[in-house]
């Protein structure tokens, strides 16, 4: 089969890590008889430099015409980059938010899994790590604070800024159903995270989640307040299977979850709508401080490409092959700097590699299978 893959390389380390994921996809294509046709789509700072805006209508149309989009990362140093002198709606991140909204990508899946081989990179105590953990964060992606009405105004000589957090019941219902669907394919447990002791939007969230839960009697569920969840993620991450939550809470908790698995450089993500289309990107940012140095970890992007194969193209065997190859590379002791062991034990048995080498090592292992 032939597939059209939109590619948003973006800014910072984006182009470097996307190049490795493409290498992996090409290897899968050769091995399993698929053709991937890539189309480069401009978004973020590079789009601002080329067109004056972070996302053009043409870029949205290109994304829509693809079977799926693979993305690296966008944005720059918010303190020093000229992109952040622009008004908020013209900054790099506005492009990503516009793309999510335009394509109705309301369901953001962020798996956080502790690889056996990376236990030494995990900052948690051994007794907390136990035999590891494996959770899926299901983050709502097109509502809440990110898309509510906002304004900054001066009243009686005092500047006041306002952001609003709005959800309607339908938006909550569709993401909750996705969360329970995913839980069914995993360990059948949903933790719905909110701030229902304070927020109206969270009280509605809770009510709708309870309604949806009735359709999934085989899945257990609980409610958890977001501050408690932040604590539980470091105290006892094993308890979580699917974490279902709104946009902003999911943004924060997924960064936290990635760090307890060792590194944000390992965390992939998929943003899905009601069709098979999806946008696949590592959960990490553009890391401008290490851009161009060839040291960024491409694994999150490679694993995002595996999610693309699985969710948008229905190629489970191929996705399994990519994930197995990543596992094997880690088992063989190869590490980018972000996943080098922090604890002294085992430090001598691992080999440090750069971005390209890591991509090559993964490709080699797919070829050998
Ligand atoms: C993420 C990022 C984005 C977000 C930024 C770049 C707007 O942090 O995907 O988690 O907040 O959603
Ligand atoms: Mg984030």
Q: Average pLDDT for residues 124-151, to the nearest whole number?
A: 95
Active site residues: 146, 195, 227, 251, 255
Please tell me the predicted confidence (pLDDT) of residue 341. 81
Packing angle, helices 169-184 and 200-213, rounded to 10: 50
Every domain of the chain and the residues it spans: 1-108+267-369, 123-260
> Taking the model in full, what pTM does it have?
0.94
CATH number among 3.40.718.10, 3.30.70.20, 3.40.50.970, 1.10.10.60, domain 123-260? 3.40.718.10
Residue closest via CA to ligand 1's atom 10 equals 251
Residue 93, ligand 1, Cβ within 6 A: yes
Q: Average pLDDT for residues 266-276, to the nearest whole number?
A: 95
Residue 251, ligand 1, Cβ within 6 A: yes
Instruction: Note whether 142 and 104 are within 8 A (CB).
Output: yes
Q: Average pLDDT for residues 146-153, to the nearest whole number?
A: 96
Instruction: Give the tens place of pLDDT for each residue, 33-65.
Output: 999 999 999 999 999 999 999 999 999 999 999
Judged by its nearest atom, the ligand closest to the C-alpha of residue 141 is: 1
Residue 96, ligand 1, Cβ within 6 A: yes
Instruction: Give the tens place of pLDDT for each residue, 103-128.
Output: 999 999 999 999 988 888 889 999 99
Please tell me the predicted confidence (pLDDT) of residue 121. 84
Please tell me the predicted confidence (pLDDT) of residue 262. 78
Of 200-204, 273-277, 280-284, least confident by mean pLDDT is: 280-284
- Measured between alpha carbons, how far is residue 270 from residues 7, 87, 112, 243, 319 in Å? 14, 28, 12, 15, 13
Q: How far is the CA of 343 from the centre of ligand 1 (A)?
A: 30
d(CA 36, CA 363): 16
Residue 323, ligand 1, Cβ within 6 A: no
Judged by its nearest atom, the ligand closest to the C-alpha of residue 76 is: 1
The count of C-alpha atoms lying within 13 angstroms of the C-alpha of 276, restricted to the half-sphere facing its C-beta, is 13
Q: Yes or no: is domain 1-108+267-369 CATH 3.40.718.10?
A: yes
Please tell me the predicted confidence (pLDDT) of residue 69. 98
Which mutation among 106, 284, 285 tests ligand 1's pocket best, with the greatest number of atoms within 8 A of CB? 285
Judged by its nearest atom, the ligand closest to the C-alpha of residue 75 is: 1
d(CA 98, CA 303): 24
Q: pLDDT-based confidence at 265, cuts 50/70/90?
A: confident
How many CB atoms sit inside 10 A of residue 193's CB?
Answer: 29
Does 123-260 match 1-108+267-369 at the fold level?
Answer: yes
Please tell me the predicted confidence (pLDDT) of residue 204. 98
Q: What is the mean pLDDT of the chain?
A: 95
Which mutation among 71, 88, 93, 145 tests ligand 1's pocket best, with the greatest number of atoms within 8 A of CB? 93
Q: pLDDT-based confidence at 366, cuts 50/70/90?
A: very high
Tokens at 170, concatenated: 């339908």
Q: How far is the CA of 69 from the centre of ligand 1 (A)?
A: 17
Q: Average pLDDT for residues 174-193, to the nearest whole number?
A: 98
């Amino acid at each position: 089969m032939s597939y059209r893959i939109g590619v948003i390389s973006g800014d910072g380390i984006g182009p470097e890590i996307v190049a490795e994921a493409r290498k992996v996809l090409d290897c899968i294509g050769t091995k399993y008889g698929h053709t991937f046709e890539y189309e480069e789509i401009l978004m973020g700072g590079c789009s601002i430099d080329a067109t004056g805006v972070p996302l053009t209508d043409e870029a949205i149309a290109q994304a829509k015409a693809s079977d799926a989009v693979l993305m690296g990362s966008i944005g720059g140093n918010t303190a020093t980059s000229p992109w952040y002198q622009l008004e908020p709606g013209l900054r790099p991140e506005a492009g990503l938010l516009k793309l999510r909204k335009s394509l109705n990508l309301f369901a953001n899946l962020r798996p956080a899994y502790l690889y056996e081989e990376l236990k030494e990179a995990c900052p948690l105590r051994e007794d907390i790590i136990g035999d590891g953990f494996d959770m899926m964060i299901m983050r709502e992606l097109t509502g809440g604070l990110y898309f509510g009405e906002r304004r900054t105004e001066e009243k009686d000589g005092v500047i006041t800024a306002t952001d609003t957090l709005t959800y309607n019941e339908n938006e909550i219902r569709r993401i909750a159903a996705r969360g329970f669907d995913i839980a069914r394919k995993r360990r059948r447990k949903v933790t719905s995270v909110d701030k229902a002791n304070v927020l109206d939007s969270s009280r509605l969230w809770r009510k709708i989640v309870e309604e949806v839960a009735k359709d999934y009697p085989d899945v257990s569920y609980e409610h958890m307040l977001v501050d408690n969840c932040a604590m539980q993620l470091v105290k006892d991450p094993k308890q979580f299977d699917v974490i279902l939550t709104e946009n902003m809470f999911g943004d924060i908790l997924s960064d936290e979850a990635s760090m307890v698995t060792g590194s944000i450089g390992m965390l992939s993500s998929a943003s899905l709508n009601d069709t098979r289309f999806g946008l696949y990107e590592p959960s990490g940012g553009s890391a401008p401080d290490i851009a161009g140095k060839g040291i960024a970890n491409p694994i999150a992007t490679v694993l995002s490409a595996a999610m693309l194969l699985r969710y948008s193209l229905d190629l489970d065997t191929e996705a399994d092959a990519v994930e197995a190859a990543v596992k094997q590379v880690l088992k063989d002791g190869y590490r980018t700097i972000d996943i080098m062991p922090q604890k002294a034990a085992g430090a001598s048995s691992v080999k440090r590699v750069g971005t390209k080498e890591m991509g090559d090592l993964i490709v080699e292992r797919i070829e050998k299978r």
